[in-house]
Every structure is written in C-alpha cells, then in structure tokens.
Structure 1
Amino acid sequence: MQSALIAWLQRTSSAIRKPSIRRSVLLVATALVCFGASVPTAGAVPSDDLDRQEVTFQSHGLTLHGTVFLPRAAVDARRPGIVLIHGSGPGPRSEYVPEAEAFARAGIVALAFDKRTDGYSHMKRDFSLLADDALAGVETLRGRADVDPAQVGLWGFSEGGWVAPLAAAKSPDVAFLVTIGASGFDPLRQQAWSLGNQLRHHGISGVFRDAVARPGALLMSDTGLFPEAGYDPVPVLERLRLPVLALWGEHDTQIPPAESAAVFQRALDRAGNQHATIRFVPGAGHSGHATTDGFDKVGGLVVDGKALGALGPGYVDVMTSWVQSVAAGHAPPSSAEPVPAQADTSQPPSSGAWYEAAAVRYAALALLLIGFAGYPLTAWVGRRAESGRHRAEWPARWLSVTGFVAVGGTLIYLLWIFATSGAGATAFVAGRTLPWLLLQICACAVLLATAATAITWWRTRDQVTGVVRVRLASLILAGALFIPWALYWQLLLP
C-alpha cells in the first residue's frame, strides 16, 4: 500500500505544471520511502495492537486497581501470565507500563497495579502484606480465561526483590520468579551502600561515607523510623525451588549487584534449585533501563516528571525469552554469568564489637549529653554554693557548648542524610560537606577545651571545691569520653 501511495504521488507530481508544487510532492514521496525503512516488521507487535483491561481485586479488605496488558490478536491457547511488583515508594502502575507492554508483546499477559497506600509509607511497611497483595494479583490472572493458571509468575523490582521471593515462598500457585535489582542483604545495609554511592557521585569522599555506612546506619535503625531494616532475604531464597531469573544492571548504584548475585546463587544452590539463572544487563542501571553511569536515565517515558530510561533490548529479550521457555516446559538449567566489577563493598551496620552493642552506645550517649548539658543547667547550684568566679569557668563553658553541639549535631546531621537520601549533600572542601567539616572542627575544639579545662582546674584545684568541683569533674569526664566516641563516629579522623 505504501509503494502504491508513493507511485501515485510521483504520477501526480508529473502532472503538476508549477515547479515549486511539483518539488513539494516529490519531497513527500521521498520522505515516505525513508520512513518505510523504520516501519515495524510483521513479527513485531506495535503498541496499538495491545489490549488494556482495567481490573480490581481484593487484598486484606483493600480494593487494588490494576491494568492487564495482553496482545489483541485472539488465539485459542491460553497464555502465561506475570504480575509486576513495585519498587519502594508510592508505586503507581504507570511506572511499569514499559515492562508490562514488553511482556504483552511477547505473548505474556501482564498485570500492573497501583501499590497500596493503606499500611504503607516511608516509615511503615510490611513485606508480608505486600506479598499477599501480589498473590491476590496472581489469583486474578489465574482466573482469566485467556491465561494458563499453571503458568503465572511474578516480576519484582528493587523492593519487589524482597517481596516477590516471599510471595513465591508463600504460595505454590506461583510458577516462576523474575527479579531485577534485588538485594541479597537487609534494607538498612542496602540503603547505607546506596547512600555511599550517592555521596561519591557528588564528590564526597573519606571518612564521612564510613560514618554513614556504620554508626549512621545503626543510629537510623535505633530510631525505629526505618521499616523492615533488618529483613534478611536469605532464609526465603533458601526455600525457592521454582524457576528463578535474577537480573542486575551492570551500572546498579542502589543495590550491590556483584555481592547480591553471589548471595542469590549461594542461597538458591542450598535450596537445591535446578533452574536458577543469574544474569547482568549491559548498559543498564538499577531498574534495568538504559543509563551511562547508573545515575542518569537515557530515553524512555517520563512519568510524573520522572524519567524512566529506555528498555534495553538485552533486558527485554532475556526476560521474555526466559519466561517463554519456562511456560513451554523447558526451564533453563541453573547458570550464572561472571559478576561485573563493583565500586565498593557493602558493610553490615555492626561489626559485632562490644562497643557497638545498643546498651553501650546508649550509655555513652547519655553520659555525654548529661555531662555537656549538665554543666550550664546546674550553674545556679554552683553560684548558690560558692560565690565568685573561678579560672576554669571560661574553658568549661566552651567545652560544654562545643561538646553538646558536636554530639547533637552529628546525630541530627546523619539522620538528615538518611531521611533525604543524601539529597543536596555536596563536597565543600577535601571531599567533605560543609556541615561535616564544621562538626569535625567542633570536635577538635572539644579536645582543646577539655585539655584547657582540665589544666586550669588542676592548677587552681585548691580554689575549686564542693559543688563546682563535682560539676567540673563531670564535664571533664564527658570530654574524655568524647574522644573514643568521636573516633568511632569518624569525627577525629582525616
């Protein structure tokens, strides 16, 4: 039809006497010829040939809304199905349309649904509840006349990499499992590693990143504001015997890809899984979409102002062909690609040392805050007990202020870094952020003030007695305790 249209335009142009109009018609014909090279082949299914059906289903008394994507062409045989499980955050289904359409074009019925908002927030989430939502989606697909109920699986992205295996372990109705960007570690360790990458990307280096990864992560866990912080995915992975395809982008900066792949492989081996496939997507980031360095997104849709990045051919092809093989009864035997280089090794928040025990850390923090804040708060007691001033008063005041600011400021700043995922943190000098540099300067001032207060008190010890002596002794003790505390928090390290 296209060739006939071009021929008609050429015949028409020859009949036109005005040269300018004839040239315009010929240009249109030439453009159509060039466009013909980009027209999809008969084997490809363009987006317009997909059906989209709105569905609702129930989970724990909540109505969830979703869209089923499937090829429009009718066939007699039932198709395999797959339910897409969200990453962290609000999770609107619009973010997963590219994957859903890619599965549908490959003849796999896909369900993308809006994540629950009831019982899920930045400070509250339950992986088991999210897994039940996914299983309700599985039952929705299994009940369709155009879906093979024995061939419905799960696809889980990022946070879904914890949820999808849990759902698969809870129900024998899940036929297969695909993950992209799944973590082999608990969420707190993963978040600390991701934060470290974000900070490095902004030019921040040195001890501050270590402070975030270890004491900062423990502090975040202590607050109880980081949901599912200690969730261990390994026991669940060790129960999976269904076919598993685990994918990671080679430029993943949010999940440690090499370490996570090794964890998955070992856990699935212990499970006796004979169909576990470990793969890495070249040129892809955390989501499997195109990127140059793991931080940018290349091409693709923009949803709510958020660029998704284009789906890479390697990403789509490996997923769809693997699912088709499994659905056909030819699940590939276990195999694993060599892991790519990983910039940094993730660290557990605690090394297990005695001084990292919660009781020790809380006791040290209490002594520091009481010692530094107690000196000015009990000043009226000293004035009533003894009249006049003493020579140690000025260095003691300086120690009290700098000590309280250094301790309180460190805790608040690291909590802020976690709460904002490092947004706005930039290197100021020598790889340090400005707030961290000021805290380190303050920590050095604490050392000087501690020494000055102790020396002055010793020289005038005959003049300082009673309540004042107790106040100074408590303050100097807090200053001495501050030294190991600041070393642990990396404040006194270059």
Structure 2
Amino acid sequence: MPEDLAAAEVSFQGSGGLVLHGSVISPAGARARSGRAGVVLVHGAGTGTKRDKLLGEAVAFARQGLSVLIYDKRSEGYSLFERSYSQLADDALGAVRTLRRQPGIDPAKVGIWGLSEGGWVAPLAASRSKDISFVILVGANALQPLRQQTWAVAAGLRKAGVRGSFVDRTEPTMYRAIADAGMFPEPYYDPEPVIASVRQPVLGIWGVHDLLTPPRETPPIFAKALEKGGNRQYTFRFFADADHAAHRTPDGGVTRLPELAPGYAELVGSWVGEATSGRAPVAQVTGPAPVQAEDTVAVPAAEWWEAAGVQGAALVLFLVAFGGYPVVALIRRVRRRGGVSSAVGRAGQGEAAPVKGAWLVSAGGLTVVVGAFVYLFYSIMTGGKLASPGPLVAGRPLIWLALQALAIATVVGTVLTCVRWRRSAPVGERVRVGLLVAGGVVFVPWALYWGLLLP
C-alpha cells in the first residue's frame, strides 16, 4: 500500500448471510480528516473476482480524499450460468453499511460505484436504500443483458475484421439458444424501471472507445429513465482515448492500459464533494462524442421452433442420420471379415454399391454440424475479448467459409442421394439411405437459420 494511504481489513454479511471480506483504503496522516466521504466499489462481471482487481481505482479515489471499500466478489450462487443482480445488490448494501461505520467517515456521505455489470447492480442497491447518498456508474448499460452481450461480442468480432452472416446472424442466434436453454443468467433483465427509481445524484462515466457497452445508445436511455423518475441530478462524462472501464487505451478499446483516463479520478473527487454538499450538477453532459459503429439489435425470446429443445432434437437427428451411415458400413465390414454375414448379406445387403452422394452427405453434414458449434463456441468465448477468430478472407473467417462450402456440398449431395435412392437404391440400403436423406432435408432450413447458407 502506498505510504500516503492506509488500509483496514473488514468483513460483512452479504445476501443470505454470506460473509464477504474486503479492505477500506483511506488517506493516511494529515489527510485522514474526519467527516470523509466514502464509496463502495462494485465489480463488473466475472467469477472468482478479488478486491485487488479494483485496487487501481481504489488508490486513485482515496488520493482524492475518499475512503474506498473494495471486496471479494461472491462465488457462492454466482457463476457463468448463474447470478442474481438482486443478490449482488444486497451484497453491496452490506458493504455500504460496513463503510458507514468506519472511523472518520460521515455516514451521510457514503455512495456506491459500479463498473459494467455493477452498472446494473449499483442502481438496484441505491433504489433500495436511503443510506446511499450518491451513485457513480462506469461503462454502465441501460439495455437488457442479452442484447448488450450479443452487441459486445459482435463488436469484438467486427473490430477483428469479421463481416457477413457469421456476425450478423449466427452469433445472435447462438445467444438466443443459450438463453432459451437457461444458460444465460438474467437475459431479459430490464434496468430502466430501476434507474427511474434512483433518487440520488448520479455520475455516469463512459470511455469513448467502449466495446462492451454501447456508449452512444446507453446514456440517453439513462437520462430518459432518470428524468422519468423526476431525477435531474445527473452528470454524464465521456473520456477520450478510454475504454469500457475508463482506462486509457492506445488502440480504440482493444488494449487496456493500467492508467485511468486523465481527469477521471479528479472528476470523481470533485463531483462527490458537490453531490454530498447538495450541489450536484443538473443534467450535465460533457466530453467528446462516443464511437459506436453499429447499433444494438433487439434479441427476442426464441419461438417454439427456435427453442433449445428443438435445436437439440435436430442435432440428435443429424448425429444419427449422418453418423449412422458410416457406422453401419463399419459394422458390416467387420461382420464380413469375421465370416458372420447373413445369407441376406451375402445376397447383396452388405455388398450393395454405395448410393451416389451418400458419403458426401454423411461426411459433410457431420463435419458441418460438429465443426460449426465448436468454432462458434470458441468465437463467442473469445469475441468479447477482441480475439481474432482466425484468418479472414473478404471479412469472413476462413474456417467458417470452409464450413459454409461443406454445407453447400451437403445440400448438393442430399439432392443427388435422394434422386438415386428413389430410383434404384438396393433394398438393404433403403432404410439407411432414407434416414440419411431425411437428415439432409432437415439440414437445409437448419443451415439457413444458422447462417451457414447465407453470405
């Protein structure tokens, strides 16, 4: 800890009585005056997040004369597939109560700061407690989480140079399926009514190059919701050359530097002083215009035919239809080598000539189905982190282009197989090839839906 600051360890009860641990960082020595304002920092999304992730902000704010509480985020009840903003808000309220009791702090001057996901949590906590005297939001989002996430991953992919159906169609389709399967927590949480119920002064901060929260769309929604609730004590500030967390970025939001945007910490210190003395600015918006290349797009709940269960059934059909064809061929070959072929097999079942196109449908369809989901999962997991999805050709990932080519080949193979099957398929092949054709027929609308047959 720097010599000009002091740290005190604290513990408190969060939601459900869970004990959480944190640190209060305050000015030391002569600067440790009594009657200080304090602020609780609420993490963004992430599992296993420790307090030191926000240590840079805590040190910067403490040097502005504030006492700052940072704490380890809960892991119980919080994971990639499970979380509750209400529960996280109650955790934050436990931290607020603890900070208000610390020596030297004026309990009437304690507020809350939320980053990213914390931008949903902090307003919820503030709406529940009059003990919170102000709210600071950084990279906050006024949209539904699923809408924000699909935009963020798409923005990351576009930043990497990706264009076409993969980013416009396939990526949001995947997220809708994930949400329908219950694997995306709080997908349709609506923050606007909560924002409208916040009565405390609000400081909203956005980096101009935010690639995780749409920086052009979000602030007007915040302002409209606050004013709908009669709250005009808000200050919005945009910082140039800053990213989602208002840290400096040298390359338009791709790289985050350790340093905060110049003037960010000073703004927090001065604004808190004004807000806690009853002089919070009214409807003030300053700073350069944010950069947002694409608008967000609504992500409605899946229709019945898009539901995760239906998609899962389609995958089972593909695995059976496409995978069953070579499996049966392998079994027949093993049986022939073992000399246990049946009389029917000797008569022609095991020796039947392959139907033209059948192996293309089997191999192509199976490769597309498995390969598409493996690649899509990888791209979604890394897209929001601005990782390149591999080599690009005309803005299309090379791997995705290969899968699209195989998808077209599978459709062509299905047509050829269907024609040959109906004309002269051997009796022993009718069921096996019929199942393969059924899989190929279902594959066409499925591949269109997932963007595999779209440019």
TM-score by length of 2: 0.85
User: Would you say the 8 A contact 2:7–2:23 is kept in 1?
Assistant: no
**Structure 1 residues 45-83: Cα deviation after superposition (integer angstroms, max 9, x where no partner):** x96333332323233232413232235326765121100
The CA deviation string for residues 330-380 of structure 1, in whole angstroms up to 9 with x for no partner, is 122223458534112222344766753456544544444443344455667
Aligned partner of 2:338 in structure 1 is none
Unaligned segments of structure 1, at least 5 residues: 1-45, 299-307
Deviation at 1:326, TM superposition (A): 0.7
| Structure 1 residue aligned with 2:394 | 430
Match for residue 198 of structure 1 among 138, 152, 156: 156
Between the aligned partners of 1:67 and 1:143, the Cα distance in structure 2 is 11
- Equivalent position of 2:335 in the other structure: none
Corresponding residue for residue 379 of structure 2: 417
- Aligned partners of 2:32 and 2:368: how far apart in 1? 69
Q: Does 1:295 align with 2:254?
A: yes
Whether 1:333 and 2:282 are equivalent positions in the alignment is: yes
CA gap of 1:472–1:227, structure 2 versus 1, over 3 A, is same
In structure 1, distance between residues paired with 2:189 and 2:105: 34
Q: In the alignment, is the contact (CA less than 8 A) between 2:110 and 2:132 conserved in 1?
A: yes
2:363 counterpart SS class: helix
Give the stretch that moved more between structures: 199-208 or 245-254: 199-208
Aligned length, in residue pairs: 436
Distance 2:303 2:192 in 1: 23
8 Å Cα contact 2:160-2:388 kept in structure 1: no
Distance in 1 between residues matched to 2:193 and 2:429, nearest whole Å: 57
Q: TM-score, normalised by structure 1?
A: 0.79
Contact 1:66 1:114 in 2 (8 A): no
Aligned to 1:453: 417
2:406 equivalent among 429, 442, 464: 442
Call closer, same or farther: CA 1:456–1:156 in 2, change over 3 Å.
Answer: same
Summarize the Cα distance change of 1:360–1:272 in structure 2 as closer, same or farther, 3 Å threshold: farther
After the TM superposition, which of the residue ranges 53-62 and 332-341 deviates more from structure 2? 332-341
Q: Distance in 1 between matches of 2:222 and 2:33?
A: 38
RCO higher in 1 or 2 (8 Å CA, sep ≥ 6)? 2
User: Which is greater in Rg?
Assistant: 1
For the aligned residues, what is the CA RMSD?
3.0
Matched, 1:406 2:356: no
| Equivalent-residue separation in structure 2 for 1:485 and 1:282 (angstroms) | 44
For residue 26 of structure 2, give the secondary structure of its aligned residue in structure 1. Answer: strand
Provide the C-alpha distance between the structure 2 equivalents of 1:63 and 1:291, rounded to a whole number of angstroms: 32
CA-to-aligned-CA distance 1:110-165 (integer Å, 9 cap, x gap): 11222233443334333222222211111111112311112211001112112212
Q: Is 2:15 the partner of 1:57?
A: no
Given that 1:282 and 1:314 are in contact with CA atoms closer than 8 Å, whether structure 2 keeps it comes out as no
Q: Check if 1:130 corresponds to 2:88.
A: yes
Offset at residue 190 of structure 1 (A): 2.4
What's the CA shift string for 1:250-279, capped at 9, x where partnerless?
A: 011111111222322222232222212232
Equivalent pair of 2:110/2:131 in contact (CA under 8 Å) = yes
2:37 is the counterpart of 1:80: yes
Matches within 5 A, 1:246-265: 246-265=204-223
Q: Deviations over 1:441-474 (max 9, x none)?
A: 22011012112101212332xx544x74344333
Tell me, in whole angstroms, the C-alpha distance in 2 between the residues paired with 1:417 and 1:321.
42
Deviation at 1:193, TM superposition (A): 2.1
- 1:186 & 1:369 partners in 2: Cα distance? 35
Name the CA distance, whole Å, in 2 between partners of 1:444 and 1:387: 32
Q: Matches of 2:192 and 2:319 in 1, distance apart? A: 39
Percent sequence identity is 41
Once residues 464 and 267 of structure 1 are traced to their aligned partners in structure 2, the CA distance between those partners, rounded to angstroms, is 69
Structure 2 counterparts to residues 177-196 of structure 1, below 5 A: 177-196=135-154
> Aligned letter for 2:306?
E
For 1:405, what is the secondary structure of its paired residue?
helix
Distance in 2 between residues matched to 1:349 and 1:160, nearest whole Å: 22
| Conservation of the 8 A alpha-carbon contact between 2:126 and 2:135 | yes
SS at match of 1:83: strand
